[in-house]
Amino acid sequence: MHQWVTHSPEETMAFSECLASYLQPGDVLTLSGDLGAGKTIFSKGIAKGLGITEMVNSPTFTIVKEYHSGRIALYHMDVYRISDEEDIGLEDYFEQDGVTVIEWAENIPSWLPKDVLSIAVKRVNEQERIITCAAGGTRSERIYEEISKDERISH
């Protein structure tokens, strides 16, 4: 199991920007980690890597925001306020041609597809974060293997 350490928000964004280069339509990524760990920063790097030019902010109140200006559409979700008992129809997004990134996905385990790349961001101190990834199927395994051997991101 690889782990990556970053020392600034810029480094975390550089990591996720690099990861984004391997994403294909229909991929689903989940982001877990405490408030302030860097999940939204990570999502911004994904957006940048997909070539999205719009400003990406945390969709805490809207739950989902869609961005269509990049190479692949991005569905950015924040389910901080959602519980697993609620059916808010998020699964419709997983069938579409965009990439889905879900912050606080641990809140909705029943609604997630099996083949997701689960990313955890752990705060070590003010500037340092540990990033770990786990693949749930063949699609996410491919992404995991690509980033594990990518020399643009040190580990």
> Which of ligand ADP, Mg ion, none sits in contact with 36, Cβ below 5 to 8 A by type?
ligand ADP
Q: Does 127 participate in binding ligand ADP (rule CB under 6 A)?
A: yes
Q: Identify which of residues 58 and 107 has a Cβ nearer to Mg ion in the complex.
A: 58
In the structure encoding, which two tokens stand for residue 57, read together? 């902010």
> Tokens for 25?
């339509």
What, of ligand ADP, Mg ion, none, does residue 132 touch, CB below 5 to 8 Å by kind?
none
Q: Which of 3, 21, 25, 36 binds ligand ADP (CB under 6 A)?
A: 36
Handedness of CA 70, 122, 88, 141 (dihedral sign): positive
Restricted to residues 41-60, the positions that interact with ligand ADP (CB under 6 A) are 41, 58
Q: Residue-wise over 70-84: b if at least 16 C-beta within 10 A, else e?
A: bebbbbbbbbeebee
Q: Does 8 bind ligand ADP (CB under 6 A)?
A: yes
17 vs 103, beta carbon nearer ligand ADP: 103
State whether the Cα torsion 45-46-48-54 is positive or negative. negative
For helices 138-148 and 9-20, the axis angle rounded to 10 degrees is 120
Binding stretches for ligand ADP (CB under 6 A): 6-9, 11-12, 33, 35-41, 58, 103, 127, 129
